[in-house]
Amino acid sequence: MPSAKVTMDVRHVAPRVSVVDIQGEMNAFAEDELMVAYREAVDHGAETLILNFGPTTYINSSGIGLLVTLLIRANRQGHRLFAYGLSDHYRRVFRLTKLNEAIRVYDDEAKAVAGAEALTSGAASTVGAT
Amino acid sequence: MNTGSTEAVEQPSQGDPPVVPAHLSRKLMLGAIGLTMVVLVVTLVLALRWQSQPFPGFVVEQTLVVGGYRGQGWGRDTGRLPDHPERVEAIAGEEVTTIGEFHATLKRRVPGEEISVKTVSPDGTRRLYRVTVRPCLPVSDRLRLFWLPWAVGLAYLGIGLWVYALQGDTRAGRAFMLFCLFTSLSNGLIFDLISTHVFTAVWAFSVAQTGAALISLALLFPQPWAVVRRRPWLSLLPYGVSALLAQWELLALNRYASPWAYIPAWRAGYLFAGFGVLVLVATMWYRLRSAQRPIERQQALVILAGAVIAFTPLLVWFVRPLLDIAIRLETIHVSLPLLAFPIAIALAILRYHLWDLDLIINRTLIYGVLIMILGGTFLATVFGMQLAFQRLTGQRSPMAVAISTLLIAVLFDPLRQRIKAFIDRRFYRERYDAAQMLTMFAATVRNEVELHQLSDRLCESVTGALHPAHVATWVRMPEGFVPYDPLDCSSGADVSVAALGEQSAVALDDPLVDYLTEEDAPVMVDDVPFSSPGVRVFADSRTYIGHETELLVPLVCQSKLVGWLALGLLLSGRPYTANDRAVLRHLAMQAGPAIRVAQLVREREREAVERERIKQELAVARVVQETLLPRHLPLVSGWDLAVHWEPARAVGGDFYDFLLSDQGELFIVMADVSDKGIPAALVMASARAIFRGLARWRVEPAQALRRANELLRPELPPGMFVTCFYGLLEIRTGRFRFANAGHNPPFLQHAGGTSELWASGMPLGWMDEVAYDEHERIIGRGDLLSFYSDGLTESHNPEGEMFDLDRLERALKGDYESASELVEALWRALQDFAGPGWNQEDDVTLAVLRRLPAEVPAGENAPGEELLTTFEIQSELGNERVAMEKVEKAVRPVLTSDAEVEAVKTAVAEAVMNAIEHGNGLRVELPVIVDVLVTAGDLVIRIADQGLGRGVPAATVPDLDAKLEGRQSPRGWGLFLIREMVDDVETKLEDGRHILELRVRLDNGKR
């Protein structure tokens, strides 16, 4: 039976910044996990959600659709989405889909957190963003 | 209103147990009724006469004792008039000893004259009064003392007659009539008691009898108690007591020597009547408490309430002298409430439809009009004739009243007939009666062949005509007689058959069935002279939906019992009359054949449904079998494959299978189960599973057949076997190894000619431990390998000739461009041979495998084409990852960079997902077939599905901004990604399959 082959751990790395480690497959079955993770981060006061795609094995078009859904929700509620840990292939996919224009993609977690904190502190910064 | 389960059930088949012979009792009743009418009419005449005579201001009883009645301004209260219980000794100076002398003396006085009245008290005190003679009794006193009690008496008589007309043949009906007669007389004669004293004896008798009638009524109404049914004379016992009382009273009344002796006698009569009232109320109370059905309780309640209202004042009146209570009770206080009892009975009847409402309204109209006309005529003639007499003779004459009464008597019947005819014509053109019911039902029957409707109509007709507590149609079914849609009349709700439980079915061989068939007429359940499970269904009231079944009406057609009607007690409580049964019998005579017809129609419908169901199941079986056969032949690069499969019946025993291994081998199975239809199909299913398994393990042909024989042999029914050709083709080289278990060997057409691929071996399932030869051939480019089953070669044409091998070989000769062309040619050859209207005897399987010639035009089959892999996956989301991995393994050697591999993987995953979700509609059993090949310097990946989603329009180009703004769905990235990941994307339709072909250009030197 098809089911979710993904786990998402939420880490609260800084005030108003949470990291979601996406471990496994980012496909249609990941929806519940993703939305729970988002809710948890937001409930903890996160304004910036950093998606860690490092441990992600597979992203398909449904997974991209999910990210778009999450993006719509985050935009509506005034939250930001960042990402890091994407393989070259999925960076390409992000570029092709223009997702990288809506989700800032960083090389690693430190840069992503720094970028997030810079933004929360008010200074519009694109440090480390690619 | 019955008192228990069965004891209240009447035995109408035998009528009431005759205490008095029926004709005698009828004559006696009619005599009593006639006598009562005469007495009431004469009383009226006497009262009218007396009322216009001189009135002394007081009234006396039979023995000259002054009555206790008071009137407006009579003066009794002031002591100026004699009072009860003084006795008049002399009047106007004349001594009177009898009531006759009293009247005669008084008659000679003229109005306004003052006369003396001498009285004596029981203690001997003598008094002298002077009274003024009035011209007549004051009008208000006439109303109070005469008209009102007389009218109540008349009303009782009327209600009694009505009930007697409807229930005169039951003892309860007769008891009620007697009660009404005596009550009528007791009321109607009250005035006579204190005026003319003509009917004093009748009155005294009636009061005593009222008590007896009440007790008798309590015993019999509305159903006789069990004890009375067993000892019918019990109901007459009270009349014996009352007769003695009456005797005492009558003796006392004429004893002028002891004028007060009548008082205790009358009191005894009153007490007896009072006792009767108490008994009636008590029994009604008991029946109220013990009634089982709500409707019975309501009826009992209404009647009880009426009885209490009616009889309480009467009871006080009766008991008053005994207890010496100082309550002033006028006749009005007693007479008026008395009407409550018959009104309550009428209410119970009308409200609960004990009798047909139409009939009641009809009669009410008729008699209402009749009474108005007769009353008017009577008054007019009395008035007119009295006027005439006064003119002629100068005085009033009682002749006027007598002649008028006579006139009314003469007019009554013809007038009644006329009015009845008029009202029937005017209001009741479609007056209900049994004949009408029959006609209406007959009309329904002609148009109704639906059993359910027919049963409903039948129940409705019976309910409308007779008002039974319940009625059900029982009909013959294959499993026995069962109630069909019972209609519970008291609640109006249908009781589902399921709720009745299994015990309510009557077996087809139950003795009751034979009994009803023979009787062929309505049968009382209690009259069935034996007990069987079927009889007990109805005899035990608790078995059948808590209702008692009273009557069974057999429905017979051509001496066969098709069912019966089960009727409960009538709501009216009366038993079924001979007339009811005649009506039911006629109804059954029409319903029996109608139900039979409906049953036949139903059976035909059922058979048709059954046939249709089997057809459907076979159709499903065929679909299932077709899914067992490879739906789509594997795409084998460099080879061309075509199959035609035609079972003789919906399902067949021929089957074939083609399986492609990862090692580039094609397993070919052609088999034939030695039977046709469902048994063959079942064996075929298990044989197929065995071969699939063997092919998956890549077992070599001879070994495979040996194992298949071992596995199949215990599974096959005796006499059944399977022939099978099993081949293993190396796709790249054309090396073909094969073994044969008694199947028709395939033909190989090659450059050198045509040859059969022979290999010997026994069919599978014949015997244990069979060894098979294995042979090998190289199939060259352009060669054709043709498989067939014996269904082809052993087909006959109308002339009885067999298709045979010669015809096959002739058909094979020819220049065929493709495998499917040859298959079509072979099939057409068979059709031409068999001719139109061919009765296919056996399953036919034709399969052609063609190795493509070397010099094919450019394209996917160009030289240098190489199949990297081909596989199938099931249509389940998530399986696209399996496809990704397999494709990755195949393409890694031909692609230079990881990026290219990743891109291909993503494109394949998306394409496979689309195929799974849209092309195959997520139906797990449908495969997605993936071929990966290198051709003409391109990497080509074909993803084939069943094309279910062909009609779905291509998604619009996804635009993230539009998606974020909600103008597009967040999804819909699949096709976009595919297009971005590979160089070229093409969709094709081939043999109903939808193929997405992905193409990646391989740069020179990359391989």
CA-to-CA dists, residue A35 to A9, A49, A66, B56, B895, angstroms: 12, 12, 9, 113, 38
Lowest mean pLDDT among A70-79, B32-41, B390-399, B448-457: B390-399
Q: Do B964 and A102 touch (CB under 8 A)?
A: yes
Cα angle B515-B521-B526, degrees, rounded to a multiple of 5: 60
Q: Look at B395 and B145; give whichever has higher pLDDT.
A: B145
Helix segments in B399-553, DSSP class H: 399-427, 434-447, 451-466, 511-519, 533-539
Contacts of A58 in chain B (CB under 8 A): 881, 884, 909
Q: What is the largest CA-CA distance in chain B?
A: 167
Predicted confidence (pLDDT) at residue B714 exceeds the cutoff of 60: yes
In the prediction, which pLDDT does B629 show? 81
Give B970→chain A minimum CA distance, Å.
Answer: 5
- Given a contact cutoff of 8 angstroms between Cβ atoms, the answer to whether B784 and B819 are in contact is yes
- Given a contact cutoff of 8 angstroms between Cβ atoms, the answer to whether A74 and A51 are in contact is no
What is the helix (H) or strand (E) element at residue B314, kind and residue range? Answer: helix B294-323
**Residue pLDDT, tens place only, B527-547:** 888 888 888 877 765 445 456
Sort residue B966 into left (φ over 0), alpha (ψ -120 to 50) or beta.
left
In B604-721, DSSP assigns E strands to 639-646, 654-660, 665-673
**Residue pLDDT, tens place only, B720-756:** 889 999 999 988 888 999 999 999 999 998 887 888 8
- Given a contact cutoff of 8 angstroms between Cβ atoms, the answer to whether B175 and B237 are in contact is no
CB of A72 less than 8 A from some CB of B: yes
Q: Look at B134 and A90; give whichever has higher pLDDT.
A: A90
- Cβ atoms within 10 Å, residue B501: 11
Mean pLDDT for B800-823 is: 85
Contacts of A29 in chain B (CB under 8 A): 877-878
The first and second tokens of residue A127, run together, are 């440090």
Q: Do A101 and B902 touch (CB under 8 A)?
A: no
Q: How confident is the model at residue B956 (pLDDT cuts 50, 70, 90)?
A: low
pTM over 0.90: no
CB of B885 less than 8 A from some CB of A: no
- Nearest by CB to residue B960, choosing from A60, A68, A93, is A68
Q: Look at B993 and B394; give whichever has higher pLDDT.
A: B993
CB of B582 less than 8 A from some CB of A: no
DSSP string, B317-356: HHHHHHHT------HHHHHHHHTHHHHHHHHHHHHTTSS-
Q: What is the mean pLDDT of chain B?
A: 79
The percent of residues in chain B predicted with pLDDT above 70, rounded, is 84
Residue of A nearest to B902 (CA): A89
- Given a contact cutoff of 8 angstroms between Cβ atoms, the answer to whether B1006 and B894 are in contact is yes
CA-to-CA dists, residue B254 to B31, B286, B404, angstroms: 27, 42, 34
The first and second tokens of residue B966, run together, are 């909600």
Q: How many residues does chain B have?
A: 1007
In whole angstroms, give the CA distance from residue B846 to residue B646: 9
- Nearest by CB to residue B963, choosing from A61, A68, A87, is A68
In chain A, DSSP assigns E strands to 6-14, 17-26, 48-52, 56-59, 80-84, 104-106
**Residue pLDDT, tens place only, B828-838:** 999 888 888 78
Give B622→chain A minimum CA distance, Å.
Answer: 28
The first and second tokens of residue B873, run together, are 């996956």
Sort residue B573 into left (φ over 0), alpha (ψ -120 to 50) or beta.
left
Q: Do A61 and B960 touch (CB under 8 A)?
A: no
CB of B960 less than 8 A from some CB of A: yes
In the prediction, which pLDDT does B992 show? 64
- Nearest by CB to residue A65, choosing from B880, B973, B980, is B973
**Residue pLDDT, tens place only, B300-323:** 777 788 888 887 777 777 666 666
The first and second tokens of residue A56, run together, are 């992600």
ipTM above 0.85, yes or no: yes
DSSP string, B583-609: HHHHHHHHHHHHHHHHHHHHHHHHHHH
Q: Which of B247, B232, B305, B315 is nearest to B276 (CA)?
A: B315
Predicted confidence (pLDDT) at residue B705 exceeds the cutoff of 90: yes
Q: What is the largest CA-CA distance in chain A?
A: 48
In whole angstroms, give the CA distance from residue B685 to residue B680: 9
Contacts of B876 in chain A (CB under 8 A): 2
The first and second tokens of residue A88, run together, are 């070259």
Predicted confidence (pLDDT) at residue B160 exceeds the cutoff of 80: yes
Cα angle B148-B314-B59, degrees, rounded to a multiple of 5: 55
Give B901→chain A minimum CA distance, Å.
Answer: 10
Residue of B nearest to A27 (CA): B878
Q: Do A68 and B976 touch (CB under 8 A)?
A: no
Q: Do B973 and A97 touch (CB under 8 A)?
A: yes
In whole angstroms, give the CA distance from residue B604 to residue B60: 88
Predicted confidence (pLDDT) at residue B444 exceeds the cutoff of 80: no
Q: How confident is the model at residue B986 (pLDDT cuts 50, 70, 90)?
A: confident
CB of B143 less than 8 A from some CB of A: no
The percent of residues in chain B predicted with pLDDT above 90, rounded, is 9
In the prediction, which pLDDT does B744 show? 92
